[in-house]
Structure 1
Amino acid sequence: MFYQLSALFLALLSASPALACGPDTDCALGDRYYRIAMPEDHDGATPVGAIIFAHGYRGSAQGVMRNMNMRRMVSDMGLALIAVKSAGPDWDIPGVPSAMDSTGAAEMAYFEEVVADVTARFAVDPQRIMMSGFSAGGMVTWELACNRPDLFAGFAPVSGTFWQGPPESCAAPASVIHIHGTEDRTVPLSGREIAETKQGDVAEVLGMYRADGDFGVIETGDALNDLTCERQSNVDGNVLEFCTFPGGHSFRRSFLSYAWDRLSVAGKV
């Protein structure tokens, strides 16, 4: 009897892919993976929104999930936290020092697979997913905003933008909330040269995106604590915000809740 019950339990476990991974175990996607933390006490059936977070240079999905304060905040928001992982130490995007000839196609395909897999395995609403990331993770977030704008409800890059300046144009603009420290020396607002490449100038990137998306008059005002933002919108209801804080190359979990709230006000999530 005990053997039969054990065999039944193992069969049920293997038949349910959602039970096979989580915040402490990898959700395999071929030779790549991601990790996910659903909201605490989630019933396993009710669809929830989610934040996908991309780590910085030499970061990891495990490291993101070890940030228990961020996990708790996202859970309290009623959202899932999804931590993605680059194939190597850095994200494979155009202009990155480790792969100057990269087209970024592999990373775009990886994020498409993550969204498809996570919405199949878990009760995550595909229409309520925000993409975010810090530093190099902010750079891949901008690449996705430009090349896969329909994959997410909005984008919140922090302290990172394109390498080698902005592209000539992007696909149909989405909602973007860019957050950056005014005293950042690792990824300065004006960028800096590294090896044979250069980090992009945030003002140039925003200018390109503003023109492409036909975003309107800038509204300036204090936002969250010492975060000061310039806000714009367009006729499609998308929002473009540029938020700065007096500090260096740093990340606060409150940036995620602020960006989500702004997307919510805009009716995007």
Structure 2
Amino acid sequence: MIRNLTLAAGLALTGQASLAACAEQEGMCETASGGYHIELPQADNPPLVVFLHGYGGSGTGTMNNRGMVEPLLARGYAVMAPEGLERSNRPGVKSWNFYPGFGERDETAFLTEAVQDAGARFGIDTDRVVLGGFSAGAFMVYYLACAAPDTFSAYVPVSGGFWRPHPEACDGPVRLFHTHGWTDNVVPLEGRLLGGGRFHQGDIFAGLEIWRVANGCVDTKPSGFSTTGVFMRRYWGGCDEGSALEFALFPGGHTVPKGWADMMVDWYEGLPGG
């Protein structure tokens, strides 16, 4: 059972009523650096999944992805959808400051502030917070985890990674579960050129090598393989204590795939302290 929510006014782009709100309060939760939407499960002191929208998306749009949000709520997780800032050169288009020149806000500070605010307002367990994101939101997850891996308890990017030039190194250890579509042509596994060649999305497999080094893994070879429905999964063991690294491919394109939420929670809850 999900707590009754006051529906925010207006319609989503899909034409369905918006479910974005500040828990039972109408409108967005506001902090000093920005805002977020949140829904709560019928549980005290719940863990939290923070999920960052893609380029041009919104927190409202994230909360309207009921195929992702409702399974998380059913598993006892609160769901937070922060709002990116509008790009200065593209009014009305929101994204994240993960790349030089993409914005002024310190996103690590903002997201930490939002989680602490949710802890104070709603009793969120701030020691069990998973940061996920889709597309540009996943880019943000990658860069935040690289620079400040202790900020959240785990990282679960979908359809996004580093940009070229790839970081020379990341801090670690990190607990990260990356999910990507085999036929993704917006963020291809190999990356692609953008802005007439001014920007270059990175190679997902090169990013996984950076994470293996950060986690002190003894070999590049995966330690094991598994399948969950359509997802083909591989993981790396023999790494530093407190780390975890897994990669899941699915036969689809640029999307948050059906079944991702439950698979991700199963992974997280299987980690020590998850």
Q: In the TM superposition, what are the counterparts of 1:196-211 in structure 2 within 5 Å?
A: 196-211=198-213
* Residue 214 to residue 194, structure 1, CA distance change in 2 (3 Å): same
Q: In the TM superposition, what are the counterparts of 1:189-200 in structure 2 within 5 Å?
A: 189-195=189-195, 196-200=198-202
Q: In the TM superposition, what are the counterparts of 1:85-234 in structure 2 within 5 Å?
A: 85-88=83-86, 89-94=94-99, 99=101, 106-195=106-195, 196-216=198-218, 218-233=222-237, 234=239
Runs of 4+ in 1 over 6 A off after TM superposition: none
| Higher mean displacement: 163-172 or 26-35 | 163-172
* Residue 161 to residue 253, structure 1, CA distance change in 2 (3 Å): same
User: Which whole-Å CA distance do the structure 1 matches of 2:187 and 2:53 have between them?
Assistant: 15
User: Which whole-Å CA distance do the structure 1 matches of 2:67 and 2:214 have between them?
Assistant: 37
Q: Any idea what SS the aligned residue of 1:121 has? A: helix
Structure 2 alignment gaps of length 5 or more: 1-20, 87-93
Task: Give 1:252 shift.
Answer: 2.1
User: Which whole-Å CA distance do the structure 2 matches of 1:123 and 1:223 have between them?
Assistant: 35
Q: Any idea what SS the aligned residue of 2:95 has? A: coil
Task: Give 1:264 shift.
Answer: 1.4
Q: Which letter does structure 1 place at the counterpart of 2:130?
A: M
- Given the two structures, how large is their TM-score scaled by the length of structure 1? 0.83
CA contact (8 A) 1:36 1:80 kept: yes
Task: Give 1:166 shift.
Answer: 2.5
* CA offset digits 1:121-143 (Å, max 9, x no partner): 12111111111011111111111
CA contact (8 A) 2:51 2:133 kept: yes
| Higher mean displacement: 233-242 or 154-163 | 233-242
Q: Larger Rg: 1 or 2?
A: 1
Q: Which residue number corresponds to residue 72 of structure 2?
A: 74
* CA offset digits 1:165-204 (Å, max 9, x no partner): 4211112221000111111110001100101111111111
Task: Give 1:153 shift.
Answer: 1.0
Task: Give 1:164 shift.
Answer: 1.9
Identity among equivalent positions (%) equals 31
* Residue 247 to residue 203, structure 1, CA distance change in 2 (3 Å): same
Q: Which letter does structure 1 place at the counterpart of 2:79?
A: L
Q: Any idea what SS the aligned residue of 2:47 has? A: strand
Structure 1 alignment gaps of length 5 or more: 1-19
Q: Any idea what SS the aligned residue of 2:146 has? A: helix
Q: Any idea what SS the aligned residue of 2:256 has? A: coil
* Residue 47 to residue 253, structure 1, CA distance change in 2 (3 Å): farther
RMSD of equivalent CA atoms? 1.9
CA contact (8 A) 2:22 2:39 kept: no
CA contact (8 A) 2:230 2:250 kept: yes
User: Which whole-Å CA distance do the structure 2 matches of 1:256 and 1:170 have between them?
Assistant: 26
Q: Which residue number corresponds to residue 244 of structure 1?
A: 249
Task: Give 1:248 shift.
Answer: 1.2
* CA offset digits 1:56-96 (Å, max 9, x no partner): 1111111111223332211110110000111122211115x
Count, aligned residues:
241
Q: Which letter does structure 1 place at the counterpart of 2:233?
A: C
Q: Which residue number corresponds to residue 4 of structure 1?
A: none
